[in-house]
Amino acid sequence: MRHVANGILRLIGWRMVGEVPKPQCVLIGAPHTSNWDFVFALLAFWSLDFECRWVGKHTIFKPPFGWLMRRLGGIPLDRSTTRDFVPEVVSWFEDEPELTLCIAPEGTRSRKDYWRSGFYWIAYGAGVPIGLGFLDYENKVGGIGETIVPTGDIEADMEKIRSFYAEMRGRHPEKLSPIQLRPGTAGGEPG
C-alpha cells in the first residue's frame, strides 16, 4: 500500500514527511477544514507505513459506508452521549501495546472558537507522546512533525503546539480554528 500511496501523492504534487512515534502515541490531525483531510490522512498513514486508528463523528459510521470507516481504522464518537471518553481511550492504550490514535482537536471542519482538549488528556493519562500530524495545503506537504511529551502543564505544552501549527494552511483557511482551549480546561478537565 505504501508504494501506491506514494505514487498517488507524487502524481498530485504532494509529499509526506516524518515518522510516527513508536510504540504508542496520540496523533493530532490538524488543520481540519475539509472532507479531503480524511483522504490525505489515509494517504499519509499508508505513505509513512503505519497503522493508525482515528476518531470520527458517529454519523459517518452509518450504512452504507460504516463498515468501510471501521475497516480503515475508524472509531465512532457520539459527543452527545459520550461522557467518559478520555478514561475509556486511556484504557485502550493499556490494552493495545502498539496503538497510534489520530484525533482532530478542532472536532469539525467548521471554524470553532477553540480546540477540544481530549487529545491532550488522553496522551497525558496514557503516558504517551503527542505526534503533531499536519496537512499543509499551501505547500502540499503533510505528515508528522515534532513530538510533544505532555507534562501536565497544558498551557506551556499548548504553546509549543500552537507554535508548530502557526504557519500551516488548511484547504479552507477561513475555517481554521484558533489553537486555543476552552477556558477551564487547563485544570485537567477535557473540553
C-alpha cell at 31: 488543520
Architecture of domain 2-175: 3-Layer(aba) Sandwich (3.40)
CA-based end-to-end distance of the chain: 36
- What distances in angstroms separate CA 61 from CA 45, 153, 170, one per listed residue? 20, 35, 24
> Please, which residues have CB within 8 angstroms of residue 95's CB and are 6 or more apart in sequence?
none
pTM score above 0.85: yes
What is the full per-residue pLDDT of the chain (191 aa) written as tens digits? 899 999 999 999 999 999 988 899 999 999 988 989 989 999 999 999 989 998 888 898 999 999 999 999 998 887 677 667 899 899 999 999 999 999 999 867 678 888 989 999 999 999 999 999 999 999 999 999 999 999 999 999 999 999 999 989 989 888 878 888 887 766 555 55
